[in-house]
A = this chain, B = another copy of it.
Amino acid sequence: MLDQIHLLAAVTVLGVVEQAYFFLQVIYARRMFGISPPKISGPPEFERVFRAQVNSSEYFPIFLAVLWQAGLFFHQGLAAALGLLYICSRYCYFMGYKESSSERLVPLYFSSGVLWILVAASALGILHFFLSHYMGLNFLQLLSV
């Protein structure tokens, strides 16, 4: 069973390490700007780093959810490759947002695009499974006729 998920697992752990890196960046920013918890407001430089981390955290479960569905129901290697792309674009998003609000936009749109591809792959894979499981239909066979 593990050979069907080992690439997904590797990408998941890499994603966790990235999240940890973002958390550390917030801790550094809190120290640099002297903003102690539970405060979350401060100069825009701090708030941008803080919001970049919060936004990445909110997207993380969504990312994992579609990564795994796409990997299980569509294609593990493709899902893992898209997962790596997502992790890279989230890094660019974080670094861009740190500099200015506008620099977050391109990597944010890119990472959203990757997520939508994962959603589409998941949906297609699950649909294919439903059709073959309940109706005995097989896309690939139909296409090859």
Contacts and interface: CB of A to CB of B under 8 A. Distances in A.
Interface of A: 1-6, 9-10, 12-13, 15-17, 19-20, 36-40, 44, 47-48, 50-51, 54, 57-58, 60-62, 64-66, 69, 72-73, 97, 101, 104, 115, 119, 122-123, 126, 129-130, 133
Contacts of A122: 9, 13, 16
A37 B119 CA distance: 26
A62 B19 contact: yes
Interface centre among A51, A58, A115, A133 (most CB of B within 10 A): A58
24 contacts: A2-B72, A2-B73, A2-B129, A3-B133, A5-B72, A6-B73, A6-B126, A9-B126, A12-B65, A13-B119, A13-B123, A13-B126, A16-B65, A16-B122, A19-B62, A36-B101, A38-B47, A38-B50, A38-B51, A38-B101, A40-B51, A54-B58, A57-B61, A61-B61
A3 to B, nearest CB: 6
Contacts of A69: 9, 12-13
A122 B1 CA distance: 16
A6 B44 contact: no
A12 B48 CA distance: 31
